[in-house]
Amino acid sequence: MNLEQQCILQVRNLSKSFGGVQALDNVQFEAKEGEVHGLMGENGAGKSTLMNILVGLIKPDTGKIIFQGETLQHSDVRGTIDRGISMVHQEIMPIPELTVAQNIYLGQEMVKIPGWVDENRIIEHAEQQLRELEVDIDVTRQMKHLGVAEMQMVEIAKALSNEAKIIIMDEPTSSLSNKEVDNLFRVINTQKKKGVTIIYISHRMEEIFRICDTVTVLRDGHYIDTKPAKELDEDTLIEMMVGRELEAVFPDKNRNIGDVVFSVKRLGSKEKFRDISFELRRGEVLGFAGLMGAGRTDIVQSIMGLKPLNAGQIYLNGNEVNVSSPRDAIRLGISYVTEDRKGSGIVQDLSVRENLTLSSLRQFSSKMFVNKTEEHRSAGRMIDDLRIKTPNMQQKVKFLSGGNQQKVVIGKSLLASPEVLILDEPTRGIDVGAKFEIYQLIDQLAREGKAILLISSELPELLGLSHRILVLSRGRVTAELKAGEATQELIMKHAIQN
């Protein structure tokens, strides 16, 4: 069998620009039947643009795509799905008012007779899709009531339901725990044995080496190289992606930890979590570990006044405080970086400046008027301090890369001058270079005396940044581990306790 017969997909000389910015420049790409093909590159490298062209979301300026030996005419997304190409998007796009089952089979509804949808069959098939992923979600629930990780699993189930010949997965594990990742990889291997091609985009190096057969790297919109995964190591792959070597990924945690600045006692919320107590000191990074549904995000959202508490007390600098809304929390000196960057972290159609100062307008306001000079000065300082890459502060934030959007979300929290900073999946969906910068930023903030609570589904990240780690399972703390004694295996042991 020659190479042409093996290839299910060939991309030739593909180029695309947006408003004078060259997103793709003469890019090449090939994928074989029944392989898992990793697509790597920093944010802004052109990965998502390439994939969005493949699925018919945007049209290229030049070049062609050959699928199963035929040149693809750039049609709409429905036409692409019908041809056999499906995609799990990095940014989840559910219809919130519809049920899980309706979202999975949206556009491919089963009917009893023309014009009448067979809801029972849709529910039955949706339950089967989620069983294959070993996910326990009521398919009759509305999507708006699901967490980010649950929505991600529904999105994956939707892609699998199309019985596609190529499935593109763009950061599919960014909000999943290790157990959910294991389930997904099992499903990927099953699909691979059926001859389905998986194009896998991820910034998690360990996943690329664990699941991929081949890896293609893009950088700044250019094709760099394609190699078998077994011929690569992490350092080589990073250098291909960023064009340079990176220093040690995680900073040195040796520093003086100060007094207790924040604590909670016996926090509880109906059906979510119970009896949660912990202390957080100045200069400390406290990690929260746990599987999907363990209660990590519910706890911090309750601390911020986003969800109700039924029991317990919150203390700041030894004084009990009442937090009934995020405004109360920010006023007290507690800031929160949400896990859902696009949904609630940024306002996409506002500028970088407006997003940065959104939580701190009182600092720049006198009566009904905003002091634009001071607002510009503060936003500019934050752009410089966090090295946010943007043409200017008036640029709409939706046009920034994922890593720079994340810096804007963090910058917005920092402008509120918090004593306590809660970071929920702060590196979700961003590349290795941007991760490195955010790790350095977390270290810098801790050295400046900020008390940091860190939630992450990436165990190496928790282990590399945290001084202590609280492990949660089913809404309760099952272990408190010091940095020196914590391991991935020990964390998982406590995370699966009943």
pLDDT digits (tens, 9 = 90+) for 225-274: 999 999 998 888 888 887 765 566 787 877 789 999 999 999 999 878 99
Mean pLDDT of 72-76: 71
Q: What average pLDDT score do residues 122-131 get?
A: 90
CA dihedral 430, 433, 437, 438 (to 10 degrees): 20
- Average pLDDT over the chain reads 87
How much is the pLDDT for 4?
Answer: 44
Nearest to 399 by CA among 443, 448, 349, 435: 349
More confidently predicted of 44 and 100: 100
Q: What is the pLDDT of residues 420-469, one digit of tens each?
A: 999 998 887 777 777 888 888 899 999 999 999 999 988 888 999 999 99
Better pLDDT: 181 or 285: 285
Model confidence pLDDT, tens digit, residues 127-186: 988 888 788 899 999 998 887 778 888 888 888 887 789 999 888 887 777 778 888 888
Beta-carbon neighbour count of residue 344 at 10 Å? 12
Beta pairing class for 468-473 and 197-201: unpaired
Count CB-CB contacts under 10 A for residue 192.
Answer: 17
Reduced 3-state DSSP string for the chain: CCHHHHEEEEEEEEEEEECCEEEEEEEEEEEECCCEEEEECCCCCCHHHHHHHHCCCCCCCEEEEEECCEECCCCCHHHHHHHCEEEECCCCCCCCCCEHHHHHCCCCCCEEECCEECHHHHHHHHHHHHHHCCCCCCCCCEHHHCCHHHHHHHHHHHHHHCCCCEEEEECCCCCCCHHHHHHHHHHHHHHHHCCCEEEEECCCHHHHHHHCCEEEEEECCEEEEEEEHHHCCHHHHHHHHHCCCCCCCCCCCCCCCCCEEEEEEEEEECCCEEEEEEEEECCCEEEEEECCCCCHHHHHHHHCCCCCCCEEEEEECCEEECCCCHHHHHHHCEEEECCCHHHHHCCCCCEHHHHHHHHHHHHHEECCEECHHHHHHHHHHHHHHCCCCCCCCCCEHHHCCHHHHHHHHHHHHHCCCCCEEEEECCCCCCCHHHHHHHHHHHHHHHHCCCEEEEECCCHHHHHHHCCEEEEEECCEEEEEEECCCCCHHHHHHHHCCC
Own/partner pairs for 458-464, CB < 8 Å, 24+ apart?
458/204, 458/427, 459/178, 459/289, 459/488, 459/491, 459/492, 460/206, 460/488, 461/427, 462/287, 462/289, 462/486, 462/491, 463/287, 463/487, 463/488, 464/249, 464/250, 464/439
pLDDT value at position 74?
63
Question: What global pTM score does this model have?
Answer: 0.64
Backbone φ and ψ for 180, nearest 5 degrees, come out as: -65, -35
User: What does the block give as tokens for 164?
Assistant: 């596609």
Highest mean pLDDT among 124-128, 153-157, 357-361 belongs to: 124-128
Does the pLDDT of residue 1 top 50, yes or no? no
pLDDT higher than threshold 70 for residue 22: yes
Give the span between the Cα atoms of 137 and 151, in whole angstroms. Answer: 10
